[in-house]
Structure 1
Amino acid sequence: MSRPATRARRLHRLTIVGLSAGTALSLTACQAGDDSAGDAPRSTPKQSTAPRGLLSKDAATQALDTYVKVNNRANATRDPKLLNTVEDGQVYEQSSADFEQWNTMTKKDQKWYKTAFYYEGREYLIPSSDSGAGWFAVKTRSSSDTKKRDILLILDKVDGTYKVVMSLYTDERLPKIAVDKNGFISPADPSAKVGTLAPDGLSNAYEDFFETGGKTAGTTFAATEATRGSLDAYKSGPGGELKSYAVEKNFAMKPANPKIYALKLADGGTLAIFPTAHSSELMLKPQYMSQFDITPGKKEAVYNDAKRDIVTNEYQGQALAVLQPKSKPRVMGIEYRLVDSR
């Protein structure tokens, strides 16, 4: 899995050339017949089948245990192909970017990234087999996280194998998930509005924080650590001397993996795990284009180390939000990674 970013979006410093400048079958063989009934016909045995889950808890445990084992091996050797056998979706976009940018990390971060981890306090959130969902979730915590934050994992079947496709640390404790009398969760319709937004409308609405500084998103979403971090990223703009020589603009874009996952909460709300993405353009002001070039920072240079007038970065993200009928959507966790620079 990709390890958590310390900010809503990692910002990267660039410099200008020439200037000093980051989830029994019970035979109620109810044989009602009585030997004293003579020729009276016996009743037909009845069968009652208890609802089944998409998969058993044992199977879900095995899928997650396999993920942890392979993930730890892949992290230790920075092997994206190995990791892709158990991981996909937005989280794989982020993990593979971490591998590409390995040499830009500090020795301390590299050591931490390679340290084996495991998931503790697992709660398997499995839908019934007739729910229409092909995925299950796990609420857990990571042994490597000193803050012991909740993590929500989504495991979906990709090419016949359950892979982790979303993995997100939350800034707040996860709310109680709705579970029926058989212990199964209820997936929610991503296109169904809950209050002002449907899960499938969250990404576009949220990216306004980066495009405009939250002119619309600021009143659409409840204020949380995630929204404040996104606003900080927008406000920071070009760093150092670049403030005088360049401007930065952000544009919402289609996530690399657009599938949305949603499940019902015990209080009637919906928990949505959604992908999101944007690009940023750092551009010299017109009057300086003939005099200077922008030198990409270390992470940008992994993808393109050429000095240029415009540096376009692509950020792929994943986020988690709670939607309630009578309150604003609350984004409880969001994480982006730089995945390309051109």
Structure 2
Amino acid sequence: MHHPPTRRHRLTVLALGVTTAISLTACGSPTDDAGGRSASPSASPSPKGVVDRDTAATVVDAYEKANNKANATQDAKLLGTVEAGQVHEQAKADYQQWSTFTKKRKKEYTTPFFYRDREYYIPAASSGATWFAVTARSRQDQQAPRGLLVFDRVDGRYKMTAALELKGGLKIARDKDGFAVPADPAKKVGTLAPDQLGEYEDFFETGGKEAKRFFAATQDSRESTKVYNDRNKGETGPWATTSYARQKPSHPAVYALNLASGGVLAVFPTAHTEKTLLKPAYIYNHKITPGPKAAVYNSTPRIAVINTYEGLGLAELHPQKKAAVTELEYRLTDSE
């Protein structure tokens, strides 16, 4: 996928979209274990998963099929029936900002995709998890990056709640029955617990004065720090100041899976505002004209433009290391 300097507007590796609502309540079939083997009548019932593999495949198949259809016409009406969480906020933003997309991006977005080379990571029903994960490629090229998709139960239905590019080399842990092993989001692993990863926003807010104590240096942290350092070097720099402030993400769900290496892979929500304010000398005689994407929400020239960005991140946590954020996706979701 494309990697613009700040990754603030990057397309996700797996297309976002919608499908017809599917209400699924099934757990694992008593005749199928995680590997799909049939149990003999005399054997003890096989352990159940949050869903069985066939049900998980049906959810992904339906999402894939209707996603292509919805993306072709930017049909937002169906969006909330199958998407939730931060990925839902991001997909709605894409549809709202469609008129600002280049022809190339529109073509990429509306080109049909198919989830290939799928691997399902389904927690055991006894784990208390309400979700399952899938890794897959959306292009036929075997060198294409894999994406991590999360489907959670929201309002009694499985909805996609996360979609992020997954770096290679990671092996998600499975238990003796073949089920994925979820991790406690509140349990500290190394420097942070998965539900503390929102502290990453300090890179935007201060350049990482505090965050550097807890987060390893990665491409994402360096790019986020650059956003902070360059905040007043742009076109508006001479007559306005720009600052960032962390916000509570619209949807707080955190998803964490144990890795075979002993670490944890965590999907976390994050958000911040970007405020551009005229300097005192210019307040009475000038106005800031919002950019094309911000103007979708509010096109009025004003003395301050406050943009809200909703994000999703992927991080690796290891007992003896700092947390490493390996992927970030942000979308502009509002402007005032």
> Is the TM value for this pair above 0.5?
yes
Deviation sequence 1:70-91 (CA, Å, 0-9, x none): 1111111111122322222111
- Please name the residue that 2:144 is paired with: 148
1:208 aligns with 2:207: no
| 3-state SS of 1:97 partner | helix
CA RMSD between the two structures = 2.0
Partner letter of residue 152 of structure 2?
A: D
Distance 1:257 1:90 in 2: 6
Aligned pair partner of 1:292 in 275, 282, 286: 286
2:160 matches 1:164? yes
Task: Write out aligned runs for 1:306-321 (5 A).
Answer: 306-321=300-315
**2:327 is aligned with 1:328:** no
* Kept after mapping to 2: 8 A contact 1:300/1:340: yes
Identity %: 50
- Aligned partner of residue 327 in structure 2, secondary structure: strand
CA distance in 1, matches of 2:67, 2:2: 15
Partner of 1:71: 67
Give the deviation of 1:120 after TM superposition: 1.1
Higher relative contact order (CA 8 A, sep 6+): 1
Q: Name the amino acid aligned to 1:71.
A: N
Aligned to 1:87: 83
2:257 — aligned with what?
A: 263
Aligned AA (1:338): L
Structure 2 residue 188 is the aligned partner of structure 1 residue 189: no
* In 2, Cα distance between equivalents of 1:227 and 1:218: 9
Match of 2:172 in 1: 177
Structure 2: gaps (5+ residues): 11-27, 32-38
Shift of 1:200: 0.6
Identify the residue that residue 10 of structure 1 maps to in structure 2.
Answer: 9
TM-score (norm 2): 0.87
1:217-256 paired onto structure 2 within 5 Å: 217-238=211-232, 240-256=234-250
Secondary structure of the equivalent of 1:242? coil
What residue number does 1:111 align with? 107
TM-score for the superposition, normalised by structure 1? 0.86
* Structure-1 residue corresponding to 2:194: 199
Shift of 1:5: 6.9
Distance 2:78 2:101 in 1: 21
**What are the Cα deviations for residues 278-323 of structure 1, in whole angstroms up to 9, with x where unaligned?**
0111011111111211000100100001111100000000001010
- Asked whether the 8 Å contact 1:67–1:87 carries over to 2, the reply is no
CA distances 1:127-180 after superposition (whole Å, capped 9, x unpaired):
11111001000111211889611211100011222111000113x315111101
Runs of 4+ in 1 over 4 A off after TM superposition: 144-147
Q: Count how many residue pairs are aligned between Structure 1 and Structure 2.
A: 309
Hey, what does 1:43 align to over in structure 2? none
Conserved 8 A contact 1:8-1:233: no
Q: CA deviation at 1:219?
A: 3.2
Ranges in structure 1 where 5+ consecutive residues have no aligned partner? 12-22, 29-46
Determine if contact 2:204/2:224 at 8 Å carries over to the other structure: yes
CA gap 1:145/1:248 in 2 versus in 1, 3 angstroms? farther
Asked whether the equivalents of residues 88 and 165 of structure 1 are also in contact (C-alpha less than 8 Å), the reply is yes
The offset of 1:92, in angstroms, is 1.0
Give 3-state SS (helix, strand or coil) of 1:197's partner: coil
Q: Which amino acid aligns with 1:10?
A: H
Cα deviation code 1:226-280 (max 9, x no counterpart):
1122122222214544111111111111101101111111111111100000011
SS in 2 for 1:162: strand
Other-structure match for 1:125: 121
Higher deviation after alignment, 106-115 or 316-325: 106-115
Larger Rg: 1
**Residues of 1 paired with 2:57 and 2:123: CA distance?**
15
